[in-house]
Amino acid sequence: MVNEKDYQLVQRCLQGDESAFEELLNANKNQIFTFILRMAQNAEDAEDITQDAFVKAFRKLGSYNPEYPFITWLFRIAHNTCVDFLRAKKPQSVSLDDADSPLDVPEDGPTVEENVAFAFQTEEAERLLASLPPLYREALLLQYREDLNCADIAGILQIPEGTVKVRLFRAKAAMKAKLERLERFAKR
C-alpha cells in the first residue's frame, strides 16, 4: 500500500525541492532520533548518527520503494548507521545474553503489572530499557514503541522473521525478570 503523502514528498525531494526535504525531516526526525538515542545512550552521538542517517537517506531517495512505508525504510538506514557508528566506537561483539537477568524466572512474587506501575512511578523505565542488551532493546523499541510487525522489523534489521520472534521473546522475558527484581529490591 503506497503512502501517498510520503510518495509526493519524496517525488518533490527528487526534483530538488528544499522545502520538501525539510518537511520530510520535520515529520520523521524526532522518531528516528528517539530510537537512536535509546540505542546509543548518548545524546551527542545520537544526534551525529541521526544526521548521518538522514543525509544517507536523502542521498539514496531514488532507491526508496513506495510500496513500503517511508518510515520503515528510514528506520533501516538509521539502524545500519547506528550499528556502524557503535561498532567503530566500541568494536567488541554484542552479547545476546543478558547476564544480569537470566531467562529462568521465579513463579511467585509480585505481578509484572504491579512492577510496571512501580517503574512508572520511579521513572525506572528508561533505565530498565537501557540495561537490556542492544539486540533486545532495538527489537522491543521497534515492536512496542514504533508499532511495527515482525515482517517490518525483519526488513529493518535485515534478519529472518524467525530471528526477530526469538529476540522479541527473549527481550520480553529479560524485561519481565528485571521488573520483578526491581520490585523485590524496592521492598527490602
**Stretch of residues binding other proteins (CB under 8 A), selected from 66-74, 78-86, 139-147, 152-160:** 139-147
**CA-to-CA distance for 162 and 155, rounded, in angstroms?**
12
**Stretch of residues binding other proteins (CB under 8 A), selected from 74-82, 96-104, 120-128, 159-167:** 120-128
Cell numbers 530538488: residue: 16
**Stretch of residues binding other proteins (CB under 8 A), selected from 2-10, 30-38, 63-71, 81-89:** 30-38
Q: What are phi and psi of 98, to 5 degrees?
A: -110, 105
Q: Is 103 in the site for other proteins (CB under 8 A)?
A: no
**CA-to-CA distance for 13 and 72, rounded, in angstroms?**
18
Q: Is 129 in the site for other proteins (CB under 8 A)?
A: yes
Nearest Cα to 50, choosing from 78, 75, 87? 78
Secondary structure of 130-141 in HEC code, one letter for each residue:
HHCCHHHHHHHH
Residue selected from 1, 15, 26, 67 as contacting other proteins according to rule CB under 8 A: 26
**Stretch of residues binding other proteins (CB under 8 A), selected from 37-45, 63-71, 77-85, 148-156:** 37-45
Hey, what's the torsion of the CAs at 1, 61, 17, 27, to 10 degrees?
60
Query: Which residues lie near other proteins (CB under 8 A)?
Result: 18, 21-22, 25-26, 29-31, 33-34, 37-38, 43, 46-47, 50-51, 54-55, 58-59, 105, 111-113, 116, 119-120, 125-126, 129, 140-141, 144-145, 172, 175-176, 179
